[in-house]
Amino acid sequence: MPQTLSRRSFAALSTLGLGLPGLLAGCRGTTKAGSTTMIPGEHAPLADHLGWFSVDKPTIARVMSELTSRGADAADLYFQYSRDNSITMEDGIISRASSSVDQGVGLRVVVGDQTGYAFTEDLSLEAMLAAARTAAGIAHGGAARGPVEFKQRQRPSYYALSQPWSDIQTVQKLPHIERLNALARKADPSIHKVTVSWADGEELVLIADMHGNIQTDIRPMTRLWCMLTAKKGDVTQSNSANLAGRHGFDWYTEERLQFLADEAVKRTMVLFDARRPPAGEMPVVLAAGASGILLHEAIGHGMEADFNRKNTSIYASMIGKKVAPDFVTIVDDATQDGERGALNVDDEGNAVEKTVLVDHGVMASYLHDSISAKHYKVKATGSGRRESFRHSPMPRMRSTYMENGPHTREEIIASVKKGIIAETFTNGQVQIGAGDFTFYIKNGWLIEDGKITAPIKDINIIGNGPEALRNVTMVANDCKLDFGGWTCGKDGQSVPVSQGLPTTLVSKMTVGGENV
Amino acid sequence: MSDLLQSAKTAVDLAKKSGAQDAWAAVSRDRSVSLIYRDGKVEKVEESTSRGLGINLYVDGRYSSHSTTDLRPDRLAGFIKEAVALTRVLQPDPYRVIPDPALFKDRPTVDLERVDPAVAKLTREQREAWCAEMDAKAHTDPRVISAESNLFSGESQGAAASSNGFDGEWSGSYLGYACTATVREGEDKRPEGSAMAVGRFIQGLPEPGSVAALALRRAVERLGSTKGPTVRTTMVVDPEAAVSLLSRALAPLSAASIQQGRSYLAGKQGQKVFGDKLTITDDPLLPRGLSSRHFDGEGISARRMPLIEAGVVRNYYVDTYYGKKLGMAPTSGSASNRVLGLGNKPLAALIADVSEGIYVTSWLGGNSDATTGDFSLGLRGHQIKGGKIGAPIGEMNVTGNLAALFAKLAVVGDDPYPYSSLRAPTLVFEDVQFSGT
């Protein structure tokens, strides 16, 4: 949480590698040509990573040299292995499970602001060289100088697990799933259907660039969903809640399961009494937590430097300008422990940070990947991300939130004569150039004469980014990040993100609603 | 037998050897190329060949599904063995059985024209030339700040096999181009317009330049956009925007939604829910259709199926699993091409018939609740005054209920959008709630 930053452990890479053999538990004993068998503690972590992908430094250097044979300002190889598992309980039985394995390498060449990209799932030298030649086709010059040797930098650790997911057997997960199902089912006699969906996974990456930097990471992810349908007479309502993060098995305590069941039940049952607010412009109070979706859509995307480099963002000429009141500070932060948006290193191998987007009301910095950092002659902000080895990286958000402000939630609600509170959300979108953004409210409340009077549901909010920032009139001191998981889509690539907000008042936005 | 079908059969055999009573495997291979061109030069070239395997396992009354891209024989054998072991710890599900082979019978053989051999032969020079043509066209207005043109194409092959006698193969090609133009408005605003075209065959697609011209026109038409009034009025939806609106309205036709109580169309089969003007057929057998097929993902032989007839719900998308739970015969669990019964006027003529209203060109965000049909969507478009397209409007929402909205469907156009498998024409609705100023 922004206001309660926990202590970080800047562990050396060697301690991080301990989880690796576990990641490969299913494949122990498989010896590959030119590689090593994974035995805990026997190899240094980098060697483990290289071994997993059946590559060594000379192989990487050979592929890199092919990749840069027609010239390059930047070039990198992104090796990735990921394994995901899911289990579903529906109609009272644990009726299905799934698993998936994905592995490959993405190869990128950058010349100026031109990019050549190819990938292969086949990690043989021949296949990688062929992909390198394809990617190199973008360039038309002489060979660039390749790295003399590859070196690893130390990096922080924001999501080391005591036990990797691959060490957890399916049978260990089942009692948690059954428990959540039971908690939700017994919460209210109107609950008609319960679906519990469990997901966990781990991703192993190795990133090598033409300057000789090599970086590794192991990224866990988990999510637990509780979806409900309730019936009262002939009216049916459904809703859901989920918990998500880069956490391990031990994160799922009885308290968390109870919290999730309560949250899903509360969000569903309130729909029976909820209605549509009146349509039109009105003050919108954004409840602490998930309302960070406002920042993500209204400003976050517009601050991704690729849009600004291409001059297509509404924020392209606003750095250094006053865009919001003094008490508004907005950050995008890779360093929040266990968050979906946390990263130990970005997908270009760059160091990560907490980037201040708006500093006390003044537009401070874009989110940069290597290409845009070079263009703007600044340091990359560790924001280069990609969905997988199939995609080239671009500037993306991580955990986006607003720092605490001077007001209280009570003051904010009391100040609104007629408006709404936005509490839970399903999705949002933005038009980068025009600045129009939207988010969809699943649950909320009507405020009349400074008091919460009735629940509302299913309305879209639409506003304009710079205008909404100007109209932030009050910010409370209760910032929290949403406990549910968010996935951000851009140019066909999805990446996990987090978002948060203190209770915030925007004095005017257009609320979807119905006037009788 | 193709190497893909052989791989699928091998995977089924591996599953059976590991103890599965039944298995269903599908293997696919795709090649894709994407070229992005911006403001006079190539910005990004992406090219790749990808492959993968998916397998469904039926083990001691239990079920699981798995996928992998690591197809090395030793890894694959280990993966399937582990997957079978994982399935054993789940709970038995009496409704889960491998699809009945009777559903595989009478598979159509009509040529669906899914593959244009010319797509695989496209050269880099040709792709660049088309992008350059779009780029030049998109820059013909001095207000343009930037234009991005994208040319994408691919070919895919796939095969599936099951332990109870199914085997089938498919292939396909596609070529598409898209263009986005961004124009300057005042100091900070940069409205954009986009257009695209995609097809299985190169022949029949419009000139790349005309796609760029449309993108540019759409961007320019956004200039001076303001927020319209909060009002109840007539809504005319552009064919391209009608695709996603119809898609939302039809998604709750799936048996999974109905069985889980998350469908506003549950229990409505045979009932009139929508307006008389709405007739929709699922047609998997359209030549060159983007979603044409001989069989679906469960091997069910394809056939045409009425979904909505003059507002009456005729059929649901029923897969074998949820069909069994509901006691309904399987149709197909997934949509193919969807074709509407058409009216007799295009968009322009329909707008001319509207004295006052809002013409929606595209949506921005929004969502709907499949259980109740309640929806609220952001929109951009134009005011309609006296039968003429007026000033651009944006930053507005439209809110209501899908069943109630489509009950007030007044007119359907004769102009289906060709670049989606849901071929939506212009739709005109009466008495719709808009939120603005």
The 3-class secondary structure across chain B, one letter per residue, is: CCHHHHHHHHHHHHHHHCCCCEEEEEEEEEEEEEEEEECCEEEEEEEEEEEEEEEEEEECCEEEEEEECCCCHHHHHHHHHHHHHHHHCCCCCCCCCCCCHHHHCCCCCCCCCCCCHHHHCCCHHHHHHHHHHHHHHHCCCCCEEEEEEEEEEEEEEEEEEECCCCEEEEEEEEEEEEEEEEECECCCECCEEEEEEEECCCCCCCCHHHHHHHHHHHHHHCCCCEECCCEEEEEEECHHHHHHHHHHHHHHHEHHHHHCCCCCCCCCCCCECCCCCCCEEECCCCCCCCCCCCECCCCCECCCEEEEECCEECCCECCHHHHHHHCCCCCCCCCCCEEECCCCCCHHHHHHCCCEEEEEEEEEEEEECCCCCEEEEEEEEEEEECCEEEEEEEEEEEEEEHHHHHHCEEEECCCCCCCCCEECCCEEEEEEEEECC
Chain A nearest C-alpha distance from B379 (Å): 9
Whether residue B106 has pLDDT greater than 60:
yes
Q: What is the ipTM of this complex?
A: 0.94
> Residue ranges of the domains in chain B?
3-221, 225-437
Contact B90 A96 (CB under 8 A): yes
* Sheet with B338-340: strands ordered across: B312-313, B305-309, B280-282, B338-340, B422-423
* CA separation for the pair B78, B359 (Å, rounded): 57
Whether residue B428 has pLDDT greater than 80:
yes
Strands B374-385, B388-401: pairing is antiparallel
β-pair partners for A322: A362
Query: A2-271, which class in CATH?
Result: alpha beta
Name chain B contacts of A429, Cβ cutoff 8 Å: 364-365, 378
Contact B190 A314 (CB under 8 A): yes
Contact B87 A97 (CB under 8 A): yes
Q: Chain A residue with minimal CA distance to B256?
A: A90
Contact B67 A101 (CB under 8 A): yes
Q: What is the CATH number of domain B3-221?
A: 3.30.2290.10
Chain A nearest C-alpha distance from B185 (Å): 9
Contact A99 B260 (CB under 8 A): no
Chain A nearest C-alpha distance from B385 (Å): 21
With a cut of 50, list the residues of chain A below it in pLDDT. 1-44
pLDDT value at residue A43:
35
Backbone dihedral region for residue B386 (phi beyond 0: left; psi -120 to 50: alpha; all else: beta) = left
> Residue ranges of the domains in chain A?
2-271, 280-511
Chain B nearest C-alpha distance from A477 (Å): 29
pLDDT value at residue A18:
28
Tokens of A167: 């060490």
Whether residue B361 has pLDDT greater than 50:
yes
Quote the percentage of chain B above a pLDDT of 70: 100
Backbone dihedral region for residue A496 (phi beyond 0: left; psi -120 to 50: alpha; all else: beta) = beta
DSSP state for residue A244 in the 8-state scheme: E
pLDDT value at residue B429:
98
A433 three-state secondary structure? coil
* CA separation for the pair A3, B17 (Å, rounded): 56
Name chain A contacts of B96, Cβ cutoff 8 Å: 95-96
pLDDT value at residue A12:
26
* CA separation for the pair B396, B381 (Å, rounded): 9
The arithmetic mean of pLDDT across residues B75-82, rounded, is 94
| Sign of the dihedral defined by the CA atoms of residues A48, A52, A55, A60, in that order | negative
Contact A338, A245 (CB under 8 A): yes
Q: Give me the long-range contacts of B3-7 (CB less than 8 A, separation at least 24).
A: B4/B28, B4/B29, B4/B157, B4/B158, B4/B159, B4/B169, B5/B159, B5/B161, B5/B167, B5/B169, B7/B53, B7/B71, B7/B159
For residue B68, give the nearest of A101, A392, A435 by CB distance.
A101
pLDDT value at residue A2:
30
pLDDT value at residue A21:
28
Contact A429 B365 (CB under 8 A): yes
Chain A nearest C-alpha distance from B236 (Å): 18
Q: Taking all residues of chain B, what is their mean pLDDT, rounded to a whole number?
A: 97
A304 three-state secondary structure? strand
Contact A311 B49 (CB under 8 A): no
The arithmetic mean of pLDDT across residues B120-139, rounded, is 96
Q: What is the pLDDT of residues B4-43, one digit of tens each?
A: 999 999 999 999 999 999 999 999 999 999 999 999 999 9
Contact B377 A457 (CB under 8 A): no
For residue A98, give the nearest of B65, B78, B82 by CB distance.
B65
* CA separation for the pair B337, B282 (Å, rounded): 6
Q: What is the pLDDT of residues B328-355, one digit of tens each?
A: 999 999 999 999 999 999 999 999 999 9
